[in-house]
Amino acid sequence: MMLGTDLDEDEEAKAAMAIEQEALREYQQLAREEIKETLDFAYYHLGNDGLSAILPHLQHEYLLNVKTLDLSYNSLNDAGLESLVQDLASFGSPIETLNLAGN
């Protein structure tokens, strides 16, 4: 009977898809765990505007794992640094060392 074979194929396809999704979740978890604990932006000369532009993109992917952030020599002023501190605090950043030398 053909109907039984179609159901078996559908079940196999669903099982294969579930395995692929689980493998993808595991890969994503490993990728997050391998994210560097240090981000070095020293001498990038970002300025306040550059820092404001990249910070939202870093928050979810990187800054949740980063322990050291080097922003030395980036021409950041008091307003930029205040904004940085507020942003880091707003999402519970685990940063332990923040290098702001030469700003």
**Amino acid letter at 95?**
I
The reported pTM is 0.63
pLDDT at 27: 55
Identify the CATH assignment for 36-103 out of 3.80.10.10, 2.40.30.10, 3.40.50.1110, 3.40.50.1220: 3.80.10.10
Q: Phi/psi at 39 (nearest 5 deg)?
A: -115, 125
Q: In Å, how far are 19, 25, 68, 96 from 52, measured between CA atoms?
A: 40, 30, 18, 21
pLDDT digits 0-9 by tens, 31-88:
565 567 888 999 999 999 999 888 887 776 667 778 899 999 999 999 999 999 888 8
